[in-house]
Amino acid sequence: MRFETKAIHVGRGIDPLTGAVTSPLHLSTTYERAADGSYTNDFMYSRGDNPNRRALEACLTSLESGFDCVTYASGMAAISSIIEALPQDLPRRVVMPDDMYFGIRALISETDIGKRFDIAIADMTNLAEVEKVIQDAPTGLVWMETPSNPLVKIVDIKAITKIAQKAEAYTVVDNTWPTPALQRPLSYGVDFSLHSVTKYIGGHSDLMVGAIVAKSDSIYLKNLRAWQHEKGAVPSPFDCWLALRGVQSLSPRMRVHCANALELAEFLEAHPKVEAVHYPGLASHAGHAIAAKQMSSFGGMLSFQVKGGEKEAMEVAANVKIFTRATSLGGTHSLIEHRASVEKDKTMAPANLLRVSVGIENIEDLKEDLSQALE
Ligand SMILES: *Cc1c(COP(=O)(O)O)cnc(C)c1O
């Protein structure tokens, strides 16, 4: 099966009991044992495994062409698990990009993860710098996020994976923004593809799930499963059910997200009140050539800088009518957000920057809305 077909068919089938075409939702926390004590249906207790979670994990494994998938209560639960679950014999050192999801920076500064692990930061668009930072000290895990948040930087997955492999470090890509519909890190030799399923895979801003898809079997993968099962950071069956519903339309949704984002980026780039547009689909973007190589299209996220400062950017956000001022991304509806005022003193975002999650509304409505907001 090809990608779009797998998104619809893997993990789902006709319910043998009722003939229902849509998978039933299994809320039961516990499963009956047979008279001889065995579990005839494979399930025992919902934290360990349940039908809706298993179905979602099967589908995501298949979409990333991986070996297995472990899902969590949120993207951040997946992120903290993959750091904590580093196998015992590996160096407790993680190399991370300078531009990355804000929640990870908060995880490092607000919890003891930042103290128990040596977190080294590198500008991952600079391969010489990445090589130097990785070779500075024995490294357990190399982190990539591309396109990055909020500056939409592009990182060369293949090149960095090679550098990491030479140093015998594991690699992970936060693949939330492109989704497996546009980018398959495992095909470049990356060990783990990580997701906030909350975003595009769920697709409708109504669930929280995280996922890690592994390229192959390992002690690391066994640890990740134990972190899910034993530490209990599990997604609910309902959220898994919603995610498996959302993922069916991932491909067609991404096509519209990408087309709308490109058109909006071109519109903004030509606008006299816009200072800069960050979108890898633009020929002017520093990472355009690498993005064109490793992504099948350029995604639905962009950011732009309004001429002036924070006040001018906040005014644009204040005047939108169809866009919603809200954080998060990946839903059908367009969102706009002033990142610097959300992230406060830890921010990497310029004061005049607005981040946009371009939805799948009619593009003319989106352009008209930003056009009047910029007036
Ligand atoms: C939202 C997001 C996360 C965190 O996911 P949650 O589901 O909110 O915990 C991680 N990485 C990226 C790129 C994100 O956009």
Q: What percentage of residues in the chain have a pLDDT greater than 70?
A: 100
Model pLDDT, residue 343: 86
Helix (H, G, I), strand (E, B) or coil at 265: helix
Which of 269, 286, 289 minimizes the C-alpha distance to 367?
Answer: 269
Q: What stretches of the chain show up as alpha helix (H) in DSSP?
A: 3-9, 51-63, 75-84, 102-110, 113-116, 127-136, 157-166, 179-182, 219-231, 237-247, 250-269, 288-294, 310-318, 339-343, 363-374
- Active-site amino acid positions: 47, 101, 174, 199
Q: Which tokens in the block code for residue 349?
A: 């975002």
pLDDT digits (tens, 9 = 90+) for 19-47: 999 999 999 999 999 999 999 889 999 99
Query: Does ligand 1 come within 6 angstroms of the Cβ of 198?
Result: yes
As a whole number, the mean pLDDT across the chain is: 97
Helix (H, G, I), strand (E, B) or coil at 277: strand
Atom of ligand 1 lying closest to residue 79 CA = 10
Whole-number Å distance, alpha carbon 137 to ligand 1 midpoint, is 28
Pocket test for ligand 1, best of 96, 101, 175 (most atoms within 8 A of CB): 101
Whole-number Å distance, alpha carbon 208 to ligand 1 midpoint, is 9
Query: Does ligand 1 come within 6 angstroms of the Cβ of 149?
Result: yes
Query: Does ligand 1 come within 6 angstroms of the Cβ of 174?
Result: yes
Model pLDDT, residue 346: 77
Model-level pTM?
0.97
Going by CA atoms, what residue is nearest to atom 7 of ligand 1?
A: 75
User: Residue 101 — pLDDT band, cuts 50, 70, 90?
Assistant: very high
User: Residue 347 — pLDDT band, cuts 50, 70, 90?
Assistant: confident
Question: In whole angstroms, what is the distance from residue 31 CA to residue 41 CA?
Answer: 8
| CB within 8 Å of 32: residues ≥ 6 apart | none
Q: Is the pLDDT at 348 greater than 90, yes or no? A: no
Pocket test for ligand 1, best of 108, 193, 199 (most atoms within 8 A of CB): 199
Q: Is the pLDDT at 18 greater than 90, yes or no? A: yes
Q: What percentage of residues in the chain have a pLDDT greater than 90?
A: 97
To which H or E segment does residue 203 belong?
Answer: none
Model pLDDT, residue 235: 98
Question: In whole angstroms, what is the distance from residue 144 CA to residue 193 CA?
Answer: 10
Q: Is the pLDDT at 253 greater than 80, yes or no? A: yes
Question: In whole angstroms, what is the distance from residue 121 CA to residue 97 CA?
Answer: 6
Whole-number Å distance, alpha carbon 108 to ligand 1 midpoint, is 15
Query: Does ligand 1 come within 6 angstroms of the Cβ of 177?
Result: yes
Number of H helices, E strands in the chain: 15, 12
